[in-house]
Structure 1
């Protein structure tokens, strides 16, 4: 009968259940058959009756525990569970309504045995919840059982994301799922800018479950996963070595290991034996190994030196420290022959018992019945044979809402599973494990949990400075670059274009002492060398010209780039333009020169009619300095004259004196000042300033005349549409993509004329149209700059800038070196001094004439040109000013030395005295002025 039920259940579920569910049903009914052999009468129940089995002791709550009892680690967890029960019921602050009782069964490390054990616990012991299963694979089988009997299946060790509580209503995960750590691993990879990683994982439910999440995390930081290494759980040494040797032949040197302890330790043993734990390698282990790093003995750690590990963060507390101490004593007492330490799952086992014990305390009364539905012999339902727990749904609800302070920290479930957001980052070194950092979702990687919340401050530091010093494989602190050449650490073969024109970018010079070698120089070469020099690791390379036996170019630029695709070259360096078509075969770095294309035409001479052209002969700084000196000289002369010269006294208000001072100063510009300067110091200053004004006005007149007479350069054509409409010939550089661009713009192919060198371009402009002459030429900006540097008086750049990719270095698809070079190119371009030196060496040195872009820049006089004139006038005019002021203070020293007045009163008195007329000086100057007038009058009379 039982086999009939299995068959009918299969027919019922076919097409909507997996093979896994079918196996569960087989196991399920096989147990039923065994029970049937003992007492078939107990299975045949009347269709009008229900049978309930009540608990003998109402205050007991039975919980099943299914673990592999032969494993030493299981004893660690059982010790934690028993201590949790003891602690919970000895807690004197709260009275307990009922007692939780554990019924332990052995899974024998077998999926079927684990399922049999769970069925027997329900059938014979009437447990209301099951704690287990140990592995994710065992969990999958038990989940079906929990769903049918409404018994919560609680696991503190099954971490695979493929087992989702949302799809399994009676599954509760009191640990984190593996996908919660992938962002922490990705942050480590991003910190050290590794662009390729290879995950190594076991072919189990545990191993496979996290991989999709891990791949997505790497894709989000632009890190490639070129290969996935999968090993069966039962892999022997030969199979492991075979896979490791395969990994050694690859370019990637960053490996993410996601395995359980037994297989993971064997991986490192073999990796150590073949040299994969040496300098240049990077090994990162997930918490499957990371949780146990601290418990490994020295012989195991010796094979894992330099490994980076991820482990769930557990807040340190006095409660946890006390428990660890008590646990250690009890475990040694109960298991004297076993050397094990408390792990994270032992802590979670403790918290799981507290969670369940707290949940059953919420019940006012326990209806701990298993109700078996009325079934007949022909019934197709197998659920009735075990019954349905009446307390299950309520227990599930209470468990989901319990929150308390556990050993692991704040313990509470979200969507029936524990969410963990913080992880330790560990480093294996010597005989132990060092904590090098902490990862949190909000802060990323930080050195210590106390720095949480200081994310802005951490971003001011280089990324790897947020970690403590790391010892990498090979006992080195040098950060591994994460990749090598697939053929080993030999020199990179870098292809170089060979050309006879525009050699400022790349120039290949044959070595006279050897026909096989050549010297490669140029702007592109210097930029590449500078970028390579800024890498955090050494790269050896050699430049190989792409040439024939006769030392001429072996093909076009596209042919050269295709050699990288064919793996004949490891890279190409030169004036290679980034285009969409080329990106189908290779990768380019970021551009290192200005991108864009434009048009150049002949110029015609014309007078530039600027509205404010009269301001342009002098730069604005010189204008401001002249105005300032006018005010300064006027002030000096006023100070020297106003106490002895009535013409500088002005009106009754102080503003009149200021007006007199300014009008006198500015009228000197045209030598039209009416006030007479009587004092010798004043005349001395006036003569100095008149001399300076004469020099300035003469210079201004000369500069302005030159500017008005200068020939200004205007383009002969500026409208591309006009060139297309009238069918004018235009030029392009041979071998460039510009020809195709011009066709797309609408130029007829017959109007496109190629040239090879700047000289050929100049010649094409000079020819007549019927002789193949051109009126405009199109090219990329770097080439246009070189042509204008050579013929800047003759041509000008006009029109729009057409977007192009710019010049970039060529690398194979997915090359990590190409990505690193892109970053260093940015650093080189940001170093203005370095770029200026490179540019001056190759491009600016070719400039044969000055720029004519601005009237002011060509003919304007600068302050720098007259700096000594202003210093001379300023210093010499300051001497009589200081002498006069000192003389004034000396004559009025009584005011300064008067003991009965304050400082403010002294200052006010000195100002008033300074503004008073000096009668003696007035009479002296008026007397001499009168003699002079009489003499002049007498001479006129005679």
Structure 2
């Protein structure tokens, strides 16, 4: 075990703490950072006036702008100099090699890389710069403010782009939880780091062919200046174009000799905001040269490190080298571990002060927070501030840290912008061009779309119809200034299958910019193109002829009631007649006489209640009670019977010839679908190809139905609801629909995948649907639909069953039985002497009671 080695020295009472510095000393940026580091230490110790307890002892190494050189320098500092922290390096690649070294040796690394810190790969890594991810949010807010739907990034293929590109797509999709940018990236433009003028020109010519005119440039000033010079040369700095540059260019403008902005007129730029302060003004006076944000970050980072070390006090900063073996095979294994690393990173994380580069310098989660960015507009030979972006308020024209507003992405919060070419209006971000719109040429159902059938394929036409009118109405409301021509689409002669599929796929092939017509939204089609929101609902229905049945059946009068209801009604007529006879026989002369008269009178009385023609008097109150309830039941039965019979005799003619799809399949009937539509796929799932025919118009369909399946026609047709509405409107008394109905998404317009114009048209359809425009167009171009396509409304009324009347029968039965019980109780009470008689058998008593029942009750008021 080697004893603990202590790297602590004393000078004028202050402990010297070894601190490593790894910078590219041959570059202007590296030299500037080193000068700022020295000035920061001088200012820090001057601030304490000699009362400091520690002093940073810089051990400076040149990375030579090389990854291996930076790694070797850092290893030397840790192994031989026993430094307690390392300031640098300046880029991501060098940082990646040093980060593990800092983690193993527990030496904090204060890096100047500007790529986003995606994860805390090491607690010992600190970024003393603001991440590029913050300015991406600012750029997204600008894109959202002006409503641009597409942007094209132009970047250099290096580690800087790899750090920023993953954030760009996400930021363009959303500014915050409330406001979506709704922009997309149709193309990524990658330029090699050492690209020649010809390579840059070739790439820009490719970009000029795009419809998108909004570009985001992320590269260093030298290459960026070349890009803008060539862009101006080929006409891409003219009216209609938008250029946004990141702080990678703006932060280094001051370090490029003779940097010319003449070719960048109208460019929007994002740069880090440096707040005004007396300290910053004094610093600039002492600096006496051009200054950029990287130097200020180095100044503040060094000041923070000195404060953190001073916060730990005079406590020894030591290195434990006890685990270093003399037999180490490589230098990478032979370095010690800092004993104060954990305490130093905690101290660094807690440091907060007003720095030169920001209102508050603090390393939150190892990263310098970016709270304010400045948005500038390049004009003449200077940059003009037009607003700010803050993480809390979004786009603002003026900074107000006391009154923080809601996160905003409004162009009203920016000052006046001079765009490329000096236009007076905001560029649309979309190159105005004449779109090629494909429309189907068809023989039938021209109410939806009608293009001249005698035109040659791909010729410009002037179509009419409902779909065309809806499309024209939506295009008038969108923000893009788009012109378009309609082109007739025809299939090769003799080829009909998949007509609409072929038409839709022309957009995917690039032949058309869009397709307009009665195009159904289908899942398989959406794999290759984008559909707008549906402007008309739809679904596939089955249409069949109506039976020629005029109900000449002699027994049709029995159909209103089911068999069980007929039986129950007959039984109750007999039962009620019996009950009335029992209740009236002893006291009513109308119900007396020979046995045949008893039976006839009882049945006559009961059945005559159907027409309320009974003439016999009812004397007893019990019988009257039963008759009143029974007459109420008979009234309901007769009225229901009359209504059902009338319905059968009138509505029965709308009975479909086939009741459902299964019956069609079982009987092997011929069926048809509209030629060229996707309905073919549905029909082929159920029927043999030999049973399937096609039609093109309502007249064709009617002709097929007229022939009938047995004579080469059809028994049913499959098609979408809008078409069948037209067919049933023309032949309302001949056809109807049956179940099932196949659900579809409706009609929509077709655009290329990811087209911003498609999204804009969808929003326009929503706006028109919320008003009366779509409804008015439908009433104008399509016949009024007077017929419901629900097959249940075309079927005849069902026969009435016992289940609808059992409650009434129950009430009648209970009343009748109750009356019989009361009568029996009273009669038996009157005949109690017979029941008590002794010496007589039960059978003789019963016979005596029957004889007494048949006698008149002379005590009744009726006699």
State whether TM-score is above 0.5: yes
Contact 1:510 1:517 in 2 (8 A): no
Structure 2: where are the runs of 5+ without partners? Answer: 175-180, 552-645, 791-863
1:476 alignment partner in structure 2: 423
Alpha-carbon separation, structure 2, partners of 1:93 and 1:308:
45
**What's the RMSD between the two structures over aligned residues?**
4.5
Alpha-carbon separation, structure 1, partners of 2:733 and 2:380:
71
Verify: 1:529 aligned to 2:484, yes or no: no
Contact 1:424 1:435 in 2 (8 A): yes
Alpha-carbon separation, structure 2, partners of 1:491 and 1:165:
48
Verify: 1:284 aligned to 2:244, yes or no: yes
Q: SS at the partner of 2:347?
A: helix
- Structure 1 775/716 Cα, relative in aligned 2: closer, same or farther at 3 Å? farther
Contact 1:200 1:229 in 2 (8 A): yes
Verify: 1:787 aligned to 2:727, yes or no: yes
Cα drift, residue 164 of structure 1: 6.3
Verify: 1:152 aligned to 2:99, yes or no: no
Query: Which of 344, 353, 361 does residue 302 from structure 2 map onto?
Result: 353
Deviations 1:23-53 (A, max 9, x none): xxxxxxxxxxxxxxxxxxxxxxxx8667655
Q: SS at the partner of 2:217?
A: strand
Alpha-carbon separation, structure 1, partners of 2:80 and 2:788:
101
2:22 alignment partner in structure 1: 66
Q: SS at the partner of 1:361?
A: helix
Query: Which of 264, 269, 272 does residue 304 from structure 1 map onto?
Result: 264
TM-score normalised by structure 2 residue count: 0.68
Contact 1:369 1:390 in 2 (8 A): yes
- Structure 1 386/109 Cα, relative in aligned 2: closer, same or farther at 3 Å? same
1:363 alignment partner in structure 2: 312
Contact 2:6 2:319 in 1 (8 A): yes
Structure 1: where are the runs of 5+ without partners? Answer: 1-46, 333-337, 608-706, 855-942
- Structure 1 128/533 Cα, relative in aligned 2: closer, same or farther at 3 Å? same
Contact 2:324 2:335 in 1 (8 A): no
1:274 alignment partner in structure 2: 234
Deviations 1:498-546 (A, max 9, x none): 112111222223899xx97643222222222222333323323222212
TM-score normalised by structure 1 residue count: 0.63
Deviations 1:572-601 (A, max 9, x none): 222222222333433333322223233445
Cα drift, residue 154 of structure 1: 0.9
Deviations 1:295-332 (A, max 9, x none): 99996333223333334456x4xxx4222211221112
> What are the residue-to-residue correspondences of 1:793-812 with 2, within 5 Å?
795=735, 799=739, 801-812=741-752
2:359 alignment partner in structure 1: 409
Contact 2:191 2:200 in 1 (8 A): yes
Greater Cα shift, 258-267 or 86-95 = 86-95
- Structure 1 398/558 Cα, relative in aligned 2: closer, same or farther at 3 Å? same
Deviations 1:91-129 (A, max 9, x none): 479964333454555545444554565566667866432
Structure number with higher helix proportion: 1
Alpha-carbon separation, structure 2, partners of 1:368 and 1:853:
88
> What are the residue-to-residue correspondences of 1:13-162 with 2, within 5 Å?
52-57=6-11, 58-69=14-25, 71-73=27-29, 77=33, 80-82=36-38, 84-91=40-47, 96-102=52-58, 104-115=60-71, 118=74, 127-155=83-111, 157-161=112-116
Contact 1:62 1:100 in 2 (8 A): yes
Cα drift, residue 75 of structure 1: 6.0
Alpha-carbon separation, structure 2, partners of 1:519 and 1:69:
70
> What are the residue-to-residue correspondences of 1:764-843 with 2, within 5 Å?
764-772=704-712, 776-792=716-732, 795=735, 799=739, 801-832=741-772, 834-843=773-782
1:206 alignment partner in structure 2: 160
Cα drift, residue 562 of structure 1: 3.6
2:617 alignment partner in structure 1: none
> What are the residue-to-residue correspondences of 1:776-925 with 2, within 5 Å?
776-792=716-732, 795=735, 799=739, 801-832=741-772, 834-843=773-782, 846-847=783-784
Query: Which of 219, 227, 236 does residue 196 from structure 2 map onto?
Result: 236
Deviations 1:391-413 (A, max 9, x none): 33332232133334444133333
Contact 1:268 1:303 in 2 (8 A): yes
Q: SS at the partner of 1:403?
A: coil
Cα drift, residue 174 of structure 1: 1.9
Query: Which of 447, 472, 497 does residue 440 from structure 2 map onto?
Result: 497
Query: Which of 277, 291, 300 does residue 321 from structure 1 map onto?
Result: 277
Alpha-carbon separation, structure 1, partners of 2:241 and 2:74:
45
2:625 alignment partner in structure 1: none
Cα drift, residue 850 of structure 1: 6.0
Greater Cα shift, 768-777 or 755-764 = 768-777
Q: SS at the partner of 2:9?
A: coil
Cα drift, residue 158 of structure 1: 0.7
Alpha-carbon separation, structure 2, partners of 1:219 and 1:251:
20
Alpha-carbon separation, structure 1, partners of 2:721 and 2:33:
71
Query: Which of 722, 729, 732 does residue 673 from structure 2 map onto?
Result: 732
Alpha-carbon separation, structure 2, partners of 1:223 and 1:112:
41
Alpha-carbon separation, structure 1, partners of 2:496 and 2:197:
53
2:344 alignment partner in structure 1: 395
